[in-house]
Amino acid sequence: MSEAETAYLAAGCRSAAVCQDLFWKVRVRENGGFVRQKELMVVGRGIAPRHWTAVVSRPSTRCSVCLLFGIRASKAALQAWNDVKRLPEAVVTFDLYDYGLVFYDRSKQRQDYIVNF
């Protein structure tokens, strides 16, 4: 992950740790107490696209979110991203061109978004 990508993620959530190819859990505080654990899975460029569906198909909670890097880096990556979007666990997805976001909250209607900048 480049320094620019790390800065981009850190700007979104100052309390988040940014790692290259690892997963981590973020606890969300409300009114001073821990009320819900959410999982943020980050799939960095070091994880081959052929492994994305195996990683993304195992969220720990319905509040989990997965961020994939390099979804358009190659034909294989784009195909893997399309495979991820078809997973039943992937309820809402966002295509941010180079990044993909996957949300698992089944209370939401299934939808795939493409965000143009």
Helices (H), the chain: 3-12, 52-56, 75-86
Work out whether strand 23-30 and strand 33-43 pair parallel, antiparallel, or are unpaired: antiparallel
Query: Residue 37: its pLDDT value, please?
Result: 53
Query: Residue 96: its pLDDT value, please?
Result: 93
Q: What share of the chain is helix, strand, coil (3-state, %, to 5)?
A: 25, 30, 45
Query: Residue 112: its pLDDT value, please?
Result: 95
Determine if the pTM surpasses 0.75.
no
pLDDT in tens, 15-73: 554 444 444 444 454 555 544 556 667 776 667 788 888 877 776 667 778 888 889 99
How do the domains of the chain map onto residue ranges?
A: 3-114
